[in-house]
Amino acid sequence: MGEITSAWSLRRLPSLAGPLPSFDPGSAPPDPDALFDRWLADAIAAGVVEPHAMTLSTVDPAGRPSARVLILKYLRDGHWAFASGSASRKGKELANTPWAALTFYWSALGRQVRVRGPVEIADAAESAADFLARSPGARGGGLIGNQSEPLASLAERDRVLDEASARACADPDLVAADWTVYWVVADEVEFWQGDERRRHVRLQYTRATGGWHRQLLWP
């Protein structure tokens, strides 16, 4: 085993070294959307790189998990939006099991936000608008529709992407047929504030009739 990945080496790396902000769960708003907005603003103010990046976790038909990092498009009324081609691996997994989990981690603040719930699909007009708002290069990648499939060479990648990007530039109204905006409709949202002394604070929101129930959890 190499020295970098040995237990001895990894234990020497700092974690939650601080200083970290405090979090008073008693002052948390009744709706998790409002608290997420507050924490996201804190992450932006702290200079966190790509604070809207999140890990999306899905499962395949055998129940084996997959995870990847992508961008939160928006949060509205408990709907956490992201976009992808429905022919991608995550699109196929969501078609089979329409449930997902999201994880945000802002190490500079020692904060995590965990979201899970059923997944719904936005209408075609919203999905098209999202696609057209992407850069020409990103639209070109979306037009190919072969994400996660085997690739023969990087030269082939560049050739196909160049051709697709040229199509996107030539036809600015062209939309990939499988481009889809997905919503995780949260039924559980957890806010985790790390502490240098390991006295972490965990506040869980669970959806209940007429609103949200808040509950502290043991670290």
Spatial distance between the Cα atoms of 137 and 181, rounded to a whole number of angstroms: 19
Terminal CA-to-CA distance of the chain, rounded, Å? Answer: 32
Strand partners, 192: 112, 202
Q: In 3D, which of 32, 44, 47 has the Cα closest to residue 102?
A: 32
The DSSP 8-state label assigned to residue 95 in this structure reads H
Q: Is 96 helix (H, G, I), strand (E, B) or coil?
A: helix
Residue 3 is predicted with a pLDDT of 61
pLDDT confidence of residue 12: 85
d(CA 25, CA 4): 38
The SS3 of residue 120 is strand
Q: Say what percent of the chain tops pLDDT 70.
A: 97
Confidence band for 24, pLDDT divided at 50, 70 and 90: very high
Can you tell me the distance from the alpha carbon of 69 to that of 51, in angstroms, rounded to the nearest whole number?
12
- Average pLDDT of the chain to the nearest whole number: 94
Which residues pair with residue 71 across a beta bridge?
53
pLDDT, one tens digit per residue, over 31-76 is 999 999 999 999 999 999 999 999 999 999 999 999 999 999 999 9
Q: What is the pTM of this model?
A: 0.92
Determine the pLDDT at residue 1: 47
Tokens describing residue 9: 């080496």
Is residue 16 scored above 70 in pLDDT? yes
Element of type H or E holding 196: none
pLDDT digits (tens, 9 = 90+) for 137-163: 899 889 987 777 888 999 999 999 889
What tokens does 61 get? 């038909």
Tokens of 174: 């062209």
Q: Who has greater pLDDT, 72 or 7? A: 72
User: From start to end of 122-217, where are the E strands?
Assistant: 179-185, 188-193, 201-208, 211-217
Residue 4 has a pLDDT of: 64
**CA–CA gap between residue 112 and residue 20 (Å, rounded):** 13
